[in-house]
């Protein structure tokens, strides 16, 4: 569904803070901070080590709580938790190399179901109150999830692996990332591919703005044989309406995000860059420089505009989460777990489950 319109009506309930905590890291849950406003961080862990985890930064306590899934369920989460989605007060945690989705209460992290038979899940999109689509790094099909029974029930053949996914009220848009250059258009009623659009090489992230325009960030491929591109698609006509090419073939932008108003795009490219959706060119200036860090993943808090960026350090030791104001001012840093990656924001309006 189109979440941008919903976010426009969500009050700015989260307040920015510049307070530096003296001991901002907590292992385990001392209190039920999950009930409040905050952000979940997917700590990918080391590949095939099974040490992935979930952290939660709480705006109520201004602290980060690590290993919240393990604390709630008394067992490890699995191998490479990669992304998360929210539906019906439940959090769907996609655990990539464990080939499963853990379904947990959004305010408790207690597992209520485990969905198996999903090959290398990457991202989830809730296309109705009863159905979701899940992309896959290794399968050439899109997986269909029945949200009522919490089971994988079907496939949509793509003949290509898939990565990012975004949905409107009528269609889902799926990126063929690894070696691909296509966006597949899925009819969410018929569960069928109805169209495809050729974009740049390796479309790795997508967002939908306030005008229902789909923005696709294509990083050009890991071999750097093609120029990276930012492509805008009219979702009413399924046609490309803008195309920005990055100036250097060595440019490798990643992690396209959008703010809660649907007006500003953000992505990582030698730091954090911001772009108005009406801009005539790519931004030349960096909003947040990397400085001594190496930015890995980014998330924009839709409720208050704060910018969260992770640094995986050496991909072996615990990484850090950096928090900035909407204007790019540094607010705080926190130690998460091994390879902190994608981030997902929640508000206190979610009911207990």
- Nearest of 140, 156, 81, 149 to residue 115 by alpha carbon: 149
- Calculate the CA dihedral of residues 312, 314, 315, 316 and round it to 10 degrees: -130
Q: What's the token pair of residue 121?
A: 């899940």
User: In 3D, which of 344, 352, 343, 349 has the Cα closest to residue 108?
Assistant: 352
- What proportions of the chain, in percent to the nearest 5, are helix, strand and coil? 5, 45, 50
In DSSP terms, 245 is beta-bridged to 229
Q: Which residues contact 113 (CB under 8 A, 6 or more apart)?
A: 103, 150
Q: Which CATH class is domain 3-198+291-346?
A: mainly beta
**Beta 25-27 vs 63-66: how paired, if at all?**
parallel
Residue 200: the pLDDT is 97
Instruction: Convert the pLDDT of each residue in 96-133 to its tens digit.
Output: 999 999 999 999 999 999 999 999 999 999 999 999 99
pLDDT given at position 22: 36
Q: Left (φ > 0), alpha (ψ -120 to 50) or beta: where does 207 sit?
A: beta
Q: Which two tokens stand for residue 267?
A: 């992505």
Stretches in the chain below the pLDDT threshold 50: 1-28, 30
Instruction: Work out the number of other CB atoms within 10 angstroms of the CB of residue 137.
Output: 16
Helix (H) or strand (E) holding 50: none
Q: What per-residue confidence (pLDDT) applies to 104?
A: 97
Do 320 and 314 contact (CB within 8 A), yes or no? no
% of the chain beyond a pLDDT of 90: 85
């Amino acid at each position: 569904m189109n979440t941008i319109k919903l976010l426009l009506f969500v009050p700015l309930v989260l307040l920015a803070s510049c307070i530096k905590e003296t001991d901002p890291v907590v292992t385990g849950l001392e209190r039920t901070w999950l009930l409040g406003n905050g952000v979940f961080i997917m700590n990918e862990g080391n590949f095939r080590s099974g040490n992935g985890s979930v952290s939660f930064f709480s705006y109520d306590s201004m602290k980060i709580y690590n290993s919240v899934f393990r604390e709630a369920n008394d067992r490890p989460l699995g191998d490479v938790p990669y992304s998360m989605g929210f539906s019906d007060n439940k959090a769907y945690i996609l655990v990539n190399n464990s080939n499963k989705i853990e379904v947990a209460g959004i305010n408790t992290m207690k597992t209520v179901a485990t969905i198996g038979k999903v090959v290398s899940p990457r991202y989830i999109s809730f296309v109705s109150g009863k159905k979701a689509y899940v992309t896959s790094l290794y399968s050439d099909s899109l997986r269909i999830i029945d949200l009522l029974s919490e089971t994988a029930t079907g496939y949509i053949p793509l003949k290509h692996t898939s990565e990012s996914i975004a949905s409107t009220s009528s269609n889902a848009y799926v990126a063929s990332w690894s070696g691909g250059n296509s966006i597949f258009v899925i009819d969410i009623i018929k569960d069928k591919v109805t169209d495809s659009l050729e974009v740049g090489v390796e479309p790795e992230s997508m967002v939908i703005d306030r005008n229902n325009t789909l923005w696709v960030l294509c990083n050009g491929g890991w071999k750097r044989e093609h120029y990276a591109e930012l492509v805008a698609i009219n979702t009413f006509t399924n046609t490309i309406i803008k195309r920005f090419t990055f100036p250097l073939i060595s440019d490798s932008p990643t992690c396209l995000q959008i703010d809660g108003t649907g007006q500003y795009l953000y992505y990582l490219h030698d730091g954090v860059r911001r772009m108005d959706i009406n801009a005539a060119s790519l931004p030349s200036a960096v909003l947040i420089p990397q400085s001594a860090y190496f930015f890995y993943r980014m998330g924009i808090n839709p409720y208050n505009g704060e910018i969260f960026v992770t640094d995986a350090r050496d991909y072996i030791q615990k990484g850090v989460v950096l928090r900035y104001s909407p204007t790019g001012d540094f607010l705080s840093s926190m130690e998460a777990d091994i390879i902190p990656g994608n981030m997902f924001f929640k508000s206190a309006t979610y009911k207990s489950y």
